[in-house]
A and B are shown apart, each in its own frame.
Chain A
Amino acid sequence: MQRSKISAIMEKFRAVVDKPYEKLKQWKETNKKKIVGCSPMHFPEELIHASGMLPVVLQETDETITTGFSCIYPFFCGITRNLVDIGVKGQLSFLDGLIYADICVQNRTAASILRQNLPAIHVEFAQLPSSVTRKGVMENTVRELDRIKASLEKLAGRKIDDKSLKQSIVVYNKNRSLLRRLHDLRKGNPKLLPYRDMQVIVQSSMLMPKEEHTQLLEKLLAEMEGMKPTSVKGSRLFLSGHLCQIPKADILDLIEGVGGIIVDDDLYTGYRYYAIDAELNGSPIEALAKRHLEKSLPAPTRTGLPIRWEKYIVDRVKASKAQGAVVLLVKFCEPHLFYYPFIKDALAEAGIPHIMVETEHEVVSLEGIRTRLQAFMEMLR
């Protein structure tokens, strides 16, 4: 009975994630509300939420890149090329606004291509600082968020006051805290749901109205929190990597299919998305700036954080009692590629075995990956 209730809730999450842009188009027609897309990783969705519009975090689809080939370099990462491609094909035309936040050079290029090709959509580029320690960085971040806020107010046709922004932060904090609860619950009982489903839950949180997602999540937790942990055979793994991009579900299934148990992660569509809340005291825009700067998790798109990414990964692997780590690296993701040698060395130094799986937008050789993953599990035993 409990399992069937869980399945029913999961189906609702899955329905959102499956062909997300088509669903959002339908949602807009039904709800007569504006939708603003934002690039993954850094932009605070709360700002869009407070304007009364629906914020959605853009996600990669598996569509073959065709028209977009003429707009963007083939040596750019999958999500960058994919979003440009589906954008120029008109599949993002349901968006009223599109906000790119600075994370890498490729992302900047995509923003300008889409601005040029989608004249009907209000495209913004948020220049959020990558250095968190530079002098005056807090003021700069607040100024930039204020600028975007004014732009969103114009698009929404209404003011975003501190009260509504604070309320949005409450809504987002609530959703994040529930996701953390689920994360912790699953960490203690990985059999609770496959990691693929955990991904579905996080990805759907980025696409559907937060309040609705929170309601579903509360129901799911109510069912799951009473369940007894099931014993599980296999090797405990920490999953690291994929920043902007959602991991390929086939690869997640392969990991779990060959006996890996993903107990913890630092993926953007994972722990990174819900790890940190924004503060509720003081100015809400400053709270969002602070979340972006001082409280952000180590990432290769930031500099000056108190702990380096590779050290953070080692600490998290140890804390999760994982026997090894799987690093998912998106082909042509320059920030991650820059850090990977450090990550590789840090894991080796800590005596943590790891395997790196490079993924790309185009189909990858799953059988080869299966062999590598299975051999990695055999090595861990």
Chain B
Amino acid sequence: MVPTFAEHRVLDYYSTLVRKGAVTKVAVGVDIGSLTAKTAIVDLNSHIASYKIIQGKIVDEAAAIASLNQALADAHLTQAEIGFLITTGYGRNMVSFGDKSITEISCHARGAQFLFPGVRTVIDIGGQDSKVISLNGEGSVINFAMNDKCAAGTGRFLEVMANALEVPIEDMGALSLRAENPATVSSICTVFAESEVISLTAQGRSKLDIIAGIHEAIGRRMHSLVNHVGMVPPVVMSGGVAKNVGVVRVLEKLLGTEIVLPSEPQIVGALGAALFAMDELKSKSIS
């Protein structure tokens, strides 16, 4: 049985240890994404002490600090207990704190391997980046591909579409599953796709069909990116878009394989960063 993220959470156990003074230092990963900031904290036994996701502005240091402080507070820790802190994500080099930065590609791979040992492919769709990471089965990255031209097929793409359709973004996944005849939406450009969505609405197409079309556009885009590195199951999906069941279903259909989902897909990068921080902490304590 593959452990889920929730099963790794040991908050009560952890706070007891803190109260007893058994915890001295922890490792922290902060993922500063384009739309959200995430913090994960792990202890020397690689137990997840806590995590926090904060919606912020674009590369928002205040949101990153807020996620860090709230994650620390949840685990009854203070900043004094931080043994090593690694930043990751789009804003990893743009914040004023952190001992080191590591790319989200390495961190998502590490986080996914921790949650689902033996994972071979990670599909991460975040706010403005989407990536496909190929692992060797033992946690090492052997190849990756990343969207490098535009934000089509990312979380931002979904946000723009949700605004155009006046539908809450978190409802899109479930709504799309009720579509009868998915519309065709461009997978090339967010701006053009938005125009298409407006045209389709004017033509009287149902919101359900348009949303399903949007998800298929993302799916086609990601399918192409997956082909760049080659897909080997098991496939894990991380990032905020993994919470959209419509996109996940489209991808599963296109890839012809089941996609494994963490219970909190947005935290995988921060968790990976925290685990790398743990390595640093351990190597420091050994030397």
Q: Could you tell me which A residues sit within 8 Å of B by CB distance?
A: 353, 358, 365, 367-372, 374-375, 378-379
Contacts and interface: CB of A to CB of B under 8 A. Distances in A.
Interface in B137-156: 140-144, 146-149
B178 to A, nearest CB: 36
21 contacts: A353-B142, A353-B143, A358-B148, A368-B129, A368-B147, A369-B148, A370-B93, A371-B105, A371-B129, A371-B146, A372-B105, A372-B148, A375-B103, A375-B105, A375-B106, A375-B144, A378-B103, A378-B106, A379-B140, A379-B141, A379-B142
Contacts of B274: none
Contacts of B102: 378
B105 A378 contact: yes
B43 interface: no
A344 to B, nearest CB: 10
Given A372-B148, A375-B105, 13 more contacts: A353-B143, A365-B149, A368-B129, A368-B147, A368-B148, A371-B90, A371-B103, A372-B105, A372-B144, A375-B146, A379-B106, A379-B140, A379-B142
B93, B140, B147, B148 — which one has the most chain A CB atoms within 10 A of its CB?
B148
Given A367-B90, A371-B104, A378 B141 contact: yes
A378 B147 CA distance: 19
Interface in B96-153: 102-106, 129, 140-144, 146-149
A372 B105 CA distance: 8
Contacts of A375: 103, 105-106, 141, 144, 146
B268 to A, nearest CB: 15
Contacts, number: 39
A372 B106 contact: no
Contacts of B147: 368
Contacts of B143: 353
Contacts of B149: 365
Interface residues of B, number: 17
Contacts of A370: 93
Interface in B36-54: none
A353 B140 CA distance: 13
B146 A372 contact: yes
A368 B146 contact: yes
User: Which of B103, B105, B147, B149 has most A Cβ within 10 Å?
Assistant: B103
Nearest to A369: B148
Contacts of A369: 148
Contacts of A374: 103
A362 to B, nearest CB: 11
A372 B129 CA distance: 11
Nearest to A381: B106
Contacts of A368: 129, 146-148
A379 B141 CA distance: 6
Contacts of A353: 142-143
Q: B102, B142, B143: which has the most chain A beta carbons within 10 Å?
A: B143
Nearest to A357: B148
The 5 lowest CB-CB distance pairs between A and B, nearest first, are A375-B105, A375-B103, A378-B106, A379-B141, A374-B103
B90 A365 contact: no
Contacts of A367: 90
A370 B278 CA distance: 25
A270 to B, nearest CB: 24
A379 to B, nearest CB: 5
Interface centre among A358, A367, A368, A375 (most CB of B within 10 A): A375
A371 B140 CA distance: 17
Nearest to A367: B90
B155 to A, nearest CB: 15
B20 to A, nearest CB: 37
Contacts of A358: 148
Contacts of B142: 353, 379
Nearest to B147: A368
A378 B106 CA distance: 7
Contacts of A379: 106, 140-142, 144
A377 B147 CA distance: 18
Nearest to A378: B106
Nearest to B149: A365
B209 to A, nearest CB: 33
A372 B93 CA distance: 14
Contacts of A371: 90, 103-105, 129, 146
B91 to A, nearest CB: 10
A176 to B, nearest CB: 36
